[in-house]
Amino acid sequence: MRPTHLSGEPDRVLEVRGVEKSFAAHLSLGRTQVLRGIDLDVRRGEIYGLLGPNGAGKTTTLKIVLGLLRADRGTVRLLGKSPADPASRLKLGFLPENPYFYDYLTAREFMDFYGRLVGIPAGTRRGAIEALLDRVGLTAGRDRPLRKFSKGMIQRVGMAQALLGDPEFIVLDEPMSGLDPIGRREFRDIILSLREAGKTVFFSSHILQDAEMICDRVGILKEGRLVREGELASLLTTPVETFEVTLEGDPPAGGGWTPIQSRGGETLLRVEGRDSLDRLLRGVATGSAGARLLAVIPLRRSLEDLFLSEVKGAGEAESRPLASAAGRR
């Protein structure tokens, strides 16, 4: 269940309006524009995914939101304040894409150092650190120097430090980078638990499967512009016109369906259009070909289809088969 807003609380944790940013080109020959008028909101209690290919401007956007970079134009309000105001970051947790930590410290020592920085009292700091290391799967590695950590383990300790101090707003730059499938599943569960606890999560990613499984809303960046944004459920709601049908035996004669594969006496068909599906099912029901219906699966638009249609162009995306609804949320 989504958390309800408390009376009087602002609905938006983050507001970005007309943000532009450029950097000096190689040898300072002109400037390269990275962001071209970004407008977006992150609402309290949601998971917002900022998606885009490499070089689209995701990390630059996050750095401007955090006050690590200054926009050339536009405004940003973070928890009701300017990112230039240190008070805007008092309730903020952040995991960078490529974290660099003091590698001679153990995970426990590193967390104690950051716990002191965020002002956690000594009486509660140790318990909070132990709980967070357990939460990110570092129970066994807490006394190992960080220089001996793999990239995935560094991501885990980075997530733990981002959650120190019970932040209200958590910003994660490519949080699944370097994680194995088990680690990605654990991180997804952590992010979902943060939402259930009333926190707000804003993260960038190029791993579309993870974003589709956990996001409430997404924004798609292309060449520094936000080309699509909205509720994930609304963006992916399209009429179902393609189906996968599994038959035992040979399919009836007719048009509108194409065999994909046959194995063990079963045939998988791709059926285009509801009228074709009706004709196929009538043919199976009459028994004219001796086939028996085993399964009908509607193929719905996936986040990958939407992403490719926006980033690479509709024509290229339409040439790809739609992702099956089987196994999806």
Give residue-wise pLDDT tens across range 169-211.
999 999 988 888 888 999 999 999 999 999 999 999 887 888 8
Tens of pLDDT, residue by residue over 101-115, are 999 999 999 999 999
Name the pLDDT band for 238 (thresholds 50, 70, 90): low
Mean pLDDT of the chain: 85
Q: What is the mean pLDDT of residues 3-16?
A: 64
Q: Which residues, in sequence order, are CB contacts of 3 under 8 Å at separation 6+?
A: 45, 195, 196, 197, 198
Q: Which residues, in sequence order, are CB contacts of 268 under 8 Å at separation 6+?
A: 244, 245, 246, 259, 260, 261, 262
Name the pLDDT band for 263 (thresholds 50, 70, 90): confident
- Residue 231, SS3 per DSSP: strand
Tens of pLDDT, residue by residue over 38-83, are 999 999 999 999 998 888 999 999 999 999 999 999 999 999 999 9
Q: Which CATH architecture has domain 12-235?
A: 3-Layer(aba) Sandwich (3.40)
Say how far apart CA 216 and CA 196 lie, in whole Å: 12
Q: Is residue 322 scored above 60 in pLDDT?
A: no
Q: Is residue 317 scored above 80 in pLDDT?
A: no
**Looking at residue 87, what DSSP letter applies?**
G
Tokens of 260: 């994909």
- Please tell me the predicted confidence (pLDDT) of residue 126: 93
Q: What is the mean pLDDT of residues 220-237?
A: 84
Name the pLDDT band for 239 (thresholds 50, 70, 90): low
Nearest 10 degrees: CA dihedral of 49, 53, 57, 62?
A: 30
Contact 292, 267 (CB under 8 A): no
Report the percent of the chain where pLDDT is more than 90: 47
Instruction: Name the more confident of 144 and 178.
Output: 144
Say how far apart CA 106 and CA 155 lie, in whole Å: 14
SS3 content of the chain, % helix, strand, coil (to 5): 35, 30, 40
Name the pLDDT band for 213 (thresholds 50, 70, 90): confident
Cα dist. 59→62, 219, 231, 238, 306 in Å? 5, 14, 22, 31, 21
* Residues carrying CATH 3.40.50.300, the chain: 12-235
Q: What is the mean pLDDT of residues 235-263?
A: 81
In the chain, what is the greatest distance between 2 CA atoms, to the nearest angstrom?
78
Q: Is residue 326 scored above 60 in pLDDT?
A: no
Q: Which residues, in sequence order, are CB contacts of 168 under 8 Å at separation 6+?
A: 13, 79, 91, 92, 199, 200
